[in-house]
Structure 1
Amino acid sequence: MSTLYRTTLALCCLASLLPVGASAADPEQPAAAAEAPASPAPRPPLLERSQEDAQALERRVPKAEQQTLQAGTDSFLALWKPANDSDPQGTVIIVPGAGETADWPNAVGPLRHKFPDVGWHSLSVSLPDLLAVSPQARVEASPATEAKQDKGETAPAKDTPADANANVAQATAADADAAESTDAVQASDQNDQADAERIFARLDAAVSYAQQHNSRSIVLIGHGSGAYWATRYLSEKQPPQVQKLVMIAPQTPARVEHDLESLTPTLKVPTADLYYATRTGDRSAAAQRLQASKRQKDSQYKQLSLIAMPGNKAAEQEQLFRRVRGWMAPQE
């Protein structure tokens, strides 16, 4: 009986294991486990800072003043105020500097609001973010380099030869450095050209919009680095529709092909260069631009000094407006 009991007990144990085996052999189970989780939806591209600023302006500025202009594949915000006059003088196109909006409280906004009261349309544009000054992507280390670093190994320095082929290694490293430097210069030049083309397209669109309103005269007014781009636009493209240029506290952006000192003598239109005489850096840069203009025959370049009034911004902006208008008035 004991043998029969043991045999029966073994059969019962085997029977109890059968469902587990069958379940493991179920072909649908591995397929379900192997299903990969759904991939997350791709994130929309981040807006440029200038686009975010434009959206903020759209919420704050009256809709009647907002104009969406088209520059190639780009659409951008411009602020338009018609002249409060039955016979307008023309249009001032105001170009803000880096980090500024089309209604910036220093120079840009006050001028766009004041000029319509003296018979001028005002059109203030917004510029795109510059590729030339955008953060550069970090170069990732190769897997082999990362493996060596994980093991605590480091490459020999160029000035400490590690073997008999040191001279060849150093020469190769120097060539690599030169190649990297050349690539960096080429990339910088390409970014500069791309920035110029994109900004010029916006200024072309602004000039075209001003012409649609029968502007007898068009004056380009640039503030900060906006003065640089306005100057370069007139120097390189020489649009016949623009008769005058006003530069206010002009600045040359970083990593561009030409500086203001080299561009100023190439201008073919009457130009007013307004700088703050109380700021040492501005005064020194203005002196260099003035010297460069004197080397040009029949130059129509003129400098006007301003006085900074940190404690009275309203008076400072009124001073600026009067100086700009006073320079324009004899030529109207």
Structure 2
Amino acid sequence: MKKINAILYVIIALLSLNTPALLAEEPQASGDNANPEPASPQAADQEYILPKPQASRIEHLKSSLALRQLDHQIQTLEANGESFLTLYNPSLTPSTQGCVILLHSDNEHPDWPDAIAPLRNALPEYSWCTLAIEVPDIIKRAAPVQTISTDNINNQDSLELPDQANTFARIEAAMNMARADGIEQFVLLGYKTGASYALAFLANNPESGEALVLVDIESPTTMSDYANAQQIRQIAKPTLDYYINNNGSERFATWRKQAANQRTEGDIDYIQLDAIPDRVTGKNSKQLLIQRVRGFLKQNTTQITQQKQLPNIKKGLFYKSPVD
């Protein structure tokens, strides 16, 4: 009997210890409704913050430029009510030929090392200023994959690029900034999907640029390669089409060449170069890319004669005065 009483005593003690916790979890009655209202779905959605990979990428770029003491190149502009980043490099010679507007590929940034960074840093040495623009992401990394796939299927025949209006507005804002600095001649240069935006911008604004450079052009998933290639028929400006010829791009390259041949202005240069020979020479392929672009600009844009006077030499620094 004593044993049973001891067990009951232990049970009662344990229950008394847990009672406050249980009471604390019990909801307080309020008026006639003793049960609290469940949280609304809207409130739950507000607590979930979608990741912003492009914003994060740009912040990392700013930090990298600051560490390299290059943050003075950052220019924040505005277009269609949105601010965006550009990297501005002025010409490093006394006379400026013009400005090259550089557009990076999808999910990259204005200092991407493959092609944009080498060109934007090298061309100022040859009298060209460079403006590399932040291009909005096409594929949102936070978006569901199924939604992206469905959109791609439905929009394959679209004649407009994703977020085209905003991207075009950013190009215009960058050009306006350069014009305010006395720049009159512009060249559009794009890398991969950025090349598609450069092509579309010049096709829709034929007087905005003096030349076009396409570096390894790729079509966004919302536009077919054939539809993209047909835009070249509207380009009455010298064009350099520098691409890597492989099984996936050979047909696209053929369509671009055919479209160029169909232009009514037969005397406008269209130069299509396979980049593979430059890649297999064992030399620095980025330096070869710079040379290709530099040579194209020199031959196909209005060149300003560089007239830099030689410094006056004080002969007294090098010769002794004649003895009287």
Whether the TM-score (by the shorter chain) exceeds 0.5 is yes
Q: 1:47 to 1:217 in 2, by over 3 A?
A: farther
Q: Deviations over 1:210-253 (max 9, x none)?
A: 21221131111111011111101111233x33211101111111
**1:186 and 1:328, CA in 2 relative to 1: closer, same or farther beyond 3 A?**
closer
Contact 1:89 1:217 in 2 (8 A): yes
Residue 186 and residue 282 in structure 1: after superposition, are their counterparts in 2 closer, same or farther (change >3 A)? closer
Shift of 1:266: 1.1
Count of residue pairs the alignment pairs up = 259
Residue in structure 2 matched with residue 243 of structure 1 by the alignment = 210
Contact 1:133 1:254 in 2 (8 A): no
Which residue type is aligned with residue 274 of structure 2? Answer: S
Match of 2:11 in 1: none
- Contact kept? 1:48, 1:128, Cα under 8 Å: no
Kindly state the Cα deviation for residue 91 of structure 1 after the two structures are TM-superposed: 0.7
Of residues 250, 275, 298, the one that matches 1:329 is 298
Question: Counterpart of 1:242 in 2: which secondary structure?
Answer: coil
Match 1:225 to one of 188, 193, 202: 193
CA root-mean-square deviation = 3.3
Structure 2: gaps spanning 5 or more residues: 1-26, 304-324
In the alignment, what sits opposite 2:74? 66
Question: Deviation at 1:52?
Answer: 1.9
State the alpha-carbon separation in 2 of the partners of residues 29 and 97 from structure 1: 57
Matches within 5 A, 1:19-30: 30=29
Say whether the 8 Å CA contact 2:278–2:288 is kept in structure 1.
Answer: no
Change (3 A) 1:186 1:296: closer
In structure 2, C-alpha distance between the alignment counterparts of 1:213 and 1:36, rounded to whole Å: 61
When the two structures are superposed, what TM-score results if normalisation uses the length of structure 1? 0.68
User: Once structures 1 and 2 are overlaid, which stretch shifts more, 279-288 or 302-311?
Assistant: 302-311
1:93–1:122 CA contact under 8 A, matched in 2: yes
- Structure 1's unaligned 5+ residue stretches are 1-27, 140-180
Q: Is the 8 A contact 1:82 1:116 kept in 2?
A: yes
2:107–2:138 Cα contact (<8 Å) kept: no
Alignment of 1:84-95 (within 5 A): 84-95=92-103
Aligned partner of residue 215 in structure 1, secondary structure = coil
Matched residue, 1:281: 248
Deviates more, 1:292-301 or 1:226-235: 292-301
The 1:94/1:187 distance shift into structure 2, 3 A limit, reads: closer
Identity %: 25
Larger helix fraction of residues: 1
Cα deviation, 1:67-115, whole Å, max 9, x if unaligned, reads 1111112111111111111211111111111122111111101001101
Separation in structure 2 between the aligned mates of residue 63 and residue 251 of structure 1, nearest angstrom:
30
Structure 1 pair 294/137, CA: closer, same or farther in 2 (3 Å)?
closer
The letter of the residue matching 1:252 is: S
Counterpart position of 1:8: none
Cα distance in structure 2, aligned partners of 1:208 and 1:259: 30
**Paired residue type of 2:248:** G
1:282 deviates by: 3.1
User: TM-score under structure 2 normalisation?
Assistant: 0.70
Alignment of 1:50 with 2:54, yes or no, is: yes
Distance of 2:273 and 2:222 partners within structure 1: 27
Once residues 187 and 61 of structure 2 are traced to their aligned partners in structure 1, the CA distance between those partners, rounded to angstroms, is 24
Q: Which residue of 1 aligns with 2:286?
A: 317
Larger Rg: 1
- Tell me, in whole angstroms, the C-alpha distance in 2 between the residues paired with 1:251 and 1:284: 12
Deviations 1:155-204 (A, max 9, x none): xxxxxxxxxxxxxxxxxxxxxxxxxx99x8479959x5661112111111
SS state at 1:222 partner: strand
Residues 96-245 of structure 1: pairs in structure 2 closer than 5 A = 96-130=104-138, 135=143, 185=154, 192=160, 195-238=163-206, 240-245=207-212
3-state SS of 1:329 partner? helix
- The answer to whether the 8 A contact 1:133-1:255 is kept is no
The CA distance in 1 between the partners of 2:138 and 2:259, in whole Å, is 27
